[in-house]
Structure 1
Amino acid sequence: MTALQPPPLAPLLALRGLRKSHASQVVLRDITLDVPEHDCLVLVGASGSGKSTLLRCINLLDEVDDGEIVFAGRDIADPRINPDSVRGQIGMVFQAYNLFPHMTVLENIVLAPVRVFGRERAEAEAAARQMLDRVGLLDKAGRKPDQLSGGQQQRVAIARALVNQPRLMLFDEVTSALDPELVLEVLSLLRDLKNDGMTMLVATHEMGFARRVADRVCLLSRGAIAECAPPEAFFDAPQSEAAKHFLGAIRGAGRV
């Protein structure tokens, strides 16, 4: 008698027919995608392909025109959903660090947990120090952002996103504003998060990171997913003409 197999686990994040336009320009076209828990999915594509807009829609910073964003079993694209209740579980880090320059590193991290999510100050500070220790910056807790390098500021921004213990992390070109020598320290932190089991969507131009760390690489082209595959298949045996063209371009630029 054949043993019954357990049903497959539902993905932590499921996008279904996502559409988004700005004025008359279509930015996202019928995006359908599953992100299992603990996976790292890397989004690649030319500037303007829709990567940032997709992440902003998932974080409810941009409203979608149509489709579903099912996170942890509920459609968070429903306008009745409280965005703050979602952002406590979905952290996002941007290309710009977005740190408040007049506040210390510790104050930047504590601000949202206390003011938005109502945590006690002492509890929030303890969690903030724990996150700073995790990203290797506990000794910078009392510094102002302009006293840190770009790479350190970006790691503070990551610590700020992690302090609420999100289930999903979104990274939008987090190394693009960094000098080349600082890129490695941020990508190393993202790799550590992946190894710790964090579920991540990472929009990046860093193809080496995509090849080594991603569970899947998804190419966005003109607002649609042109190809989505494990990194070895994506880089070594692309199937779509869009992926072949994209990889040819970045190889010609010496980025792979």
Structure 2
Amino acid sequence: MNPVLSCVDVRKTFGANVVLDGLSLDVGEHEVVVLIGASGSGKSTLLRCVNLLEDIDDGAIRLDDEHITDPRVNPDKIRQKIGIVFQSFNLFPHMSVLDNITLAPVRVHGLSRRDAADKARELLARVGLADRAGEYPDRLSGGQQQRVAIVRALVNAPRLLLLDEVTSALDPELVGEVLSMVRDLKNDGMTMVIATHEMGFARQVADRVCFLHQGRVLESGPPAQVLGAPTEERTRQFVRRIIEAGRL
């Protein structure tokens, strides 16, 4: 079976700074791949390239075997199939929760307002926010805002969900409710690529952990292997620092 996502020799530079240096990665159906690594290792840039928010300089990215980084491809059509959530919630403060979620389905994807609202309310109910549809974002906690942002990414039933440090902006006591939602998505079979500094979460939710170093996947394997018995010295150094910081 072909992978849902395939990155082949992807290269991305910003001026003289090489951020992705021939990175290759496949993600299978229903697989949850967690990207770890030091700041600057390329995790967030990779997610932005997959969602076509950044152009790659070389290589190819395929979604269900479609070459989505071909310049002739319409990026808006591809983004209908890929949901992405950032560490900053990016909710419109002047719009209600329901309007934030239904904006793209109605204006971009041509869904009727009623159908979009029905789908949004269904998803909000699943994440315990059914009573918050009419609220404005500043009336919600950080954890609630991030769950709304994830619902917004899910409302179009994406083929692939990308999560970029979705707990980094949250107070520690709010992290758990977002991680619980991600675990539920995993149990539902959602295919996900997650960049995170939450090593305990990576251990719980990942089918595979990929350690990025200098723009490449240096080591990849089950969480118990990469986080518990890494084979590469650079991975061992990273995990050792994480343990010393009390984050694993």
Q: TM-score, length-normalised on structure 1? A: 0.96
Question: Corresponding residue for 1:62?
Answer: 54
What root-mean-square deviation, in Å, do the aligned CA atoms of Structure 1 and Structure 2 show? Answer: 0.7
Deviations along 1:137-161, one digit per CA (max 9) or x if unpaired, are 1100000000000000000000000
SS for the counterpart of 1:124 is helix
Deviations along 1:22-63, one digit per CA (max 9) or x if unpaired, are 011000011111100100000001111110000000000000
**Does residue 135 of the first structure (1) align with residue 127 of the second (2)?**
yes
SS for the counterpart of 1:122 is helix
**Does residue 166 of the first structure (1) align with residue 167 of the second (2)?**
no
Q: State the distance in 2 between where 1:137 and 1:230 align.
A: 33
Deviations along 1:72-94, one digit per CA (max 9) or x if unpaired, are 11110011111111111110000
SS for the counterpart of 2:40 is coil
Q: State the distance in 1 between where 2:148 and 2:14 align.
A: 32
Question: Corresponding residue for 1:121?
Answer: 113
For 2:12, the aligned partner's letter is K
Question: Corresponding residue for 2:244?
Answer: 252
One of 130, 147, 161 as aligned partner of 1:155: 147
For 2:58, the aligned partner's letter is D
Q: State the distance in 1 between where 2:5 and 2:130 align.
A: 32
Q: Which runs of 5+ in 1 are unaligned?
A: 1-8
One of 82, 90, 93 as aligned partner of 2:85: 93
Q: TM-score, length-normalised on structure 2? A: 0.99
For 1:211, the aligned partner's letter is R
Question: Corresponding residue for 2:187?
Answer: 195
For 1:10, the aligned partner's letter is N
- The answer to whether the 8 Å contact 2:98/2:117 transfers is yes
One of 174, 182, 194 as aligned partner of 2:174: 182
* Count of aligned pairs: 248
Identity %: 61
For 1:24, the aligned partner's letter is A
Worse overlay, 77-86 or 161-170:
77-86
Q: State the distance in 2 between where 1:225 and 1:246 align.
A: 14
Higher alpha-carbon Rg:
1
For 1:131, the aligned partner's letter is L
Worse overlay, 79-88 or 199-208:
79-88
Question: Corresponding residue for 2:235?
Answer: 243
Q: State the distance in 2 between where 1:198 and 1:73 align.
A: 18
Deviations along 1:177-201, one digit per CA (max 9) or x if unpaired, are 0000000000000000001000000
Q: State the distance in 2 between where 1:125 and 1:231 align.
A: 38
SS for the counterpart of 1:202 is strand
Q: State the distance in 2 between where 1:235 and 1:47 align.
A: 17
Runs of 4+ displaced beyond 2 Å: none
For 2:175, the aligned partner's letter is V
**Does residue 215 of the first structure (1) align with residue 207 of the second (2)?**
yes
